[in-house]
Amino acid sequence: MLDHEANAYVQARAFQIQKEGNSFNGDSFFMKATDEYFICSVADGLGSGLYANQSSDAVRKVIEEHHHEEVEVLMDYCNQALKLKRGATVSVLKAHFQRKEVTYCSVGNIQFVFYLPSGLYIYPIPVTGFLSGKPQTYRIDTFPYEENSKFMMHTDGLHLPSIKQELTRFQSIEDMSNHLKLHMTKRKDDATFLVGQLF
């Protein structure tokens, strides 16, 4: 499945496939661009199949309903939504266009890198573990971005030789996403990626 979100400030694409033989994808994602901000999330439900899907989809629904909230508040909402569920690793990014500032938070093993055209790579360190409704602390990273900055987040079902190289070798998000799909053919696990560019 390929999804696309864009306006004058951002362009983003996401793609996912489920593990071979499964009817349900244990990963979920969400993207939303407004005139003020862009928000996106990737969630990886523990394991695979129906119960993993229920956990990750609970995260997607929370972000969709409350996307106007700040990132730390959203992480709390996601954690509460995962009570009595299997649990999920979760990453949330929010870019504020007027401030040219990004806020990012992650719990678990979702991979993320942010690239600025001036040559800087930013790798926020996630909190280990997963969200499951238990009390949770978060690490919130906030940093400025430059015009044409790019970012990528993906679940552990996508294996890349170099995530840094993917962000620099392609000029457009479309070309990058088309190339990344080539790495998703083995289908030994659910796999999701989300790539974007800020203008």
Q: What is the pLDDT of residues 115-124, one digit of tens each?
A: 999 999 999 9
pLDDT of residue 45: 96
What's residue 50's pLDDT? 93
Starting at the earlier edge strand, list the strands of the sheet with 111-115. Answer: 2-6, 10-17, 191-198, 149-154, 111-115, 121-122
CATH class of 2-198: alpha beta
Q: What is the reported pLDDT for 186?
A: 62
pLDDT at 1: 66
Helix (H) or strand (E) holding 65: helix 50-66
Report how far residue 119's alpha carbon sits from residue 140's, in angstroms, rounded to the nearest whole number: 23
Point out the residues of the chain with pLDDT beneath 50: none
